């Protein structure tokens, strides 16, 4: 059994550790590229959202490398991610990969027997201790990865030599594919964090802060959002992503079955604008936008895949947040037709606006401060 799974930012590192620790042979899909997207677009329904198209491309490319089993996860609505598993299965069948095995990890919704059956199928063991241990290790890796990412967001706008941070990050992604198991991977992450810490900083630089909100996949996967963290980082912007896989996993895997939530504060902030959850991350999008505004960020950028239903609702509400808190807001919608030049131009214009705003505010303070 050679297991493969879809890409989503750094998540592949943790999934690899999880499967390695369980002794399951796995194949990491090649890094997302235009080829991946072309394959996906060719086989997927026309108006489905972008994540599904990229996922299909990932599977096909992995199968070419010898994978024979695909792990899929899903949810139970109301966003269409809930029906991804079934649709992807249908599509793979239509392409002609009929003998590929699927392991669907949907939330149980009362049917625990078949859920655990799929878990056992994947893990090749029925020992709950072993599974739990591997899961803990993978979770720890996720937290380390997110810490590393945060470091790179902090350093990128401040680095003295342009591109230094990217060198370390690229090196990490190159090396991690050859490693196996928790020990080696965590060591590599720690090493990368240490080298990032040593990156020399500019002594005087004005750093703009932007909060990124929107749909989780497009925020996290650099191929889909055209490496927004690199683009903004090079323009001298420190970013903060509202959603992280580590937080998402803790929320959905550990807290939600116990009817707990770590997002109380965000939900409360979103309440005046959106009373209930409406699927996807619409409520979080609004909550985090308010949160960023309160924390004194200079701007908010929303990214979502074309036709994403929950984010459309959020998009129609965010202009009110923009007005209420006086924080500039930019909406970027991505799909397979997104052109990089136009995208960069919009980002540059937005950042210029934020810099100008900041300068004006400082000047005002100088003038009015006697």
328 binds another protein (CB under 8 A): no
**Number of residues that this document lists for the chain:** 370
Map 237-260 to HEC letters: EEEEECCCHHHHHHHHHHHHHHCC
What residues from 302 to 321 belong to the interface with another protein (CB under 8 A)? 306-310, 312-317, 319-320
257 near another protein, rule: CB under 8 A: no
Regarding 105 and contact with another protein (CB under 8 A), the answer is: no
Indicate which single residue of 99, 203, 276, 368 sits in contact with another protein (rule: CB under 8 A). Answer: 276
Give the strand pairing for 299-305 and 69-73. Answer: unpaired
On whether the CB atoms of residues 6 and 37 are closer than 8 A, the answer is no
107 binding another protein? (CB under 8 A) = no
Identity of the residue, 128 or 319, whose beta carbon is nearer to another protein in the bound complex: 319
For 37-127, where are the E strands, in sequence order?
A: 69-73, 101-105
Residue 85 lies near another protein (rule: CB under 8 A): yes
Residue of 1, 35, 42, 45 that binds another protein (CB under 8 A) = 45
Choose which of 3, 32, 48, 67 interacts with another protein (CB under 8 A).
48
112-151 burial, b at 16+ Cβ within 10 Å, e below that, comes to eeebeebeeebbeeeeeeebeebbebbbebbbbbbebbbb
Task: Provide CB contacts within 8 A for 357, sequence distance 6+.
Answer: 298, 328
Out of 30, 68, 73, 87, the only residue in the binding site for another protein (CB under 8 A) is 87
Neighbours of 344 (CB within 10 A): 14
What are the backbone dihedrals phi and psi of residue 73, each rounded to the nearest 5 degrees, phi first? -120, 160
Residue 330 binds another protein (CB under 8 A)? no
| Pick 304 or 350: Cβ nearer another protein | 304
> Residue 160 or residue 323: which is nearer to another protein going by CB?
323
Binding status of residue 236 toward another protein by CB under 8 A: no
Min separation Cβ 308 and another protein, Å = 7
Q: Which of 30, 31, 74, 346 binds another protein (CB under 8 A)?
A: 74
Q: Of all helices (H) and strands (E), which one includes residue 235?
A: none
Single out the segment in contact with another protein by CB under 8 A; choices: 55-63, 71-79, 188-196, 225-233. Answer: 71-79
Q: Does the footprint of another protein cover residue 157 (CB under 8 A)?
A: no
By the rule CB under 8 A, 269 interacts with another protein: no
Q: Hey, which residues does 73 pair with through a beta bridge?
A: 105
* Spatial distance between the Cα atoms of 7 and 33, rounded to a whole number of angstroms: 11
Q: State the Cα–Cα distance between residues 121 and 123, nearest whole angstrom.
A: 6
Residues 128-147 that bind another protein (CB under 8 A): none
E strands present in the chain: 3-4, 69-73, 101-105, 208-214, 237-241, 299-305, 329-334
Identify which of residues 45 and 181 has a Cβ nearer to another protein in the complex. Answer: 45
CA dist 195 and 313 (Å) reads 42
Structure tokens at 354: 């934020």
Q: For residue 76, state whether it binds another protein (rule: CB under 8 A).
A: yes
Q: Tell whether residue 333 is a contact of another protein (CB under 8 A).
A: yes
Does the footprint of another protein cover residue 82 (CB under 8 A)?
yes
Among residues 9, 51, 157, 280, the one that binds another protein under rule CB under 8 A: 280
Tell me which of 96, 98, 109, 129 binds another protein, using CB under 8 A. 109
Strand 69-73 relative to strand 329-334: parallel, antiparallel, unpaired? unpaired
Are β-strands 101-105 and 208-214 bridged in parallel, bridged antiparallel, or unpaired?
unpaired
- Site residues (vs another protein, CB under 8 A): 45-49, 74, 76-80, 82-83, 85-87, 90, 94, 104, 106, 109, 273-280, 282, 306-310, 312-317, 319-320, 333
């Amino acid at each position: 059994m050679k297991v493969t799974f879809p890409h989503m930012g750094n998540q592949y590192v943790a999934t690899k550790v999880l499967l390695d620790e369980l002794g399951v042979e796995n194949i990491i899909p090649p890094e997302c590229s235009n080829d991946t997207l072309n394959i996906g677009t060719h086989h997927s329904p026309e108006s489905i959202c972008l994540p599904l198209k990229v996922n299909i491309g990932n599977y096909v490319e992995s199968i070419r490398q010898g994978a024979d089993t695909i792990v899929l996860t899903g949810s139970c609505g109301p966003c269409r991610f809930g029906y991804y598993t079934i649709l992807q299965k249908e599509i793979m069948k239509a392409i002609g990969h009929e003998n590929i095995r699927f392991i669907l990890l949907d939330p149980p919704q009362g049917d625990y027997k078949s859920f655990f059956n799929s878990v056992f199928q994947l893990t090749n063991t029925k020992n709950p201790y072993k599974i739990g241990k591997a899961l803990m290790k993978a979770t720890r890796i996720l937290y380390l990865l997110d810490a590393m990412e945060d470091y790179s967001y902090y350093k990128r706008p401040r680095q003295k030599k342009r591109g230094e941070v990217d060198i370390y990050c690229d090196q990490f992604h190159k090396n991690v594919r050859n490693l196996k198991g928790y020990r080696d991977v965590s060591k590599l992450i720690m090493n990368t964090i240490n080298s990032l810490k040593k990156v020399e900083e500019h002594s005087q630089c004005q750093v703009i802060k932007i909060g990124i909100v929107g749909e989780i996949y497009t925020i996290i996967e650099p191929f889909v959002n055209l490496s927004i963290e690199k683009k903004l980082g090079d323009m001298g912007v420190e970013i903060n992503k509202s959603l992280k896989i580590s937080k998402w996993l803790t929320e959905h895997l550990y807290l939600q079955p116990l009817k707990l939530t770590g997002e109380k504060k965000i939900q409360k902030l979103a309440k005046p604008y959106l009373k209930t959850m409406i699927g996807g991350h619409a409520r979080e999008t609004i909550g985090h936008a308010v949160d960023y505004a309160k924390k004194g960020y200079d701007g908010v950028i929303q990214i979502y895949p074309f036709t994403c239903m929950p984010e459309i609702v959020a998009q129609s509400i965010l202009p009110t947040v923009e007005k209420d808190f006086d924080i500039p807001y930019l909406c970027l919608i991505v799909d397979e037709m997104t052109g990089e030049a136009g995208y960069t131009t919009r980002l540059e214009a937005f950042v210029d606006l934020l810099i100008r705003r900041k300068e004006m505010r400082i000047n005002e303070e100088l003038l009015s401060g006697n």
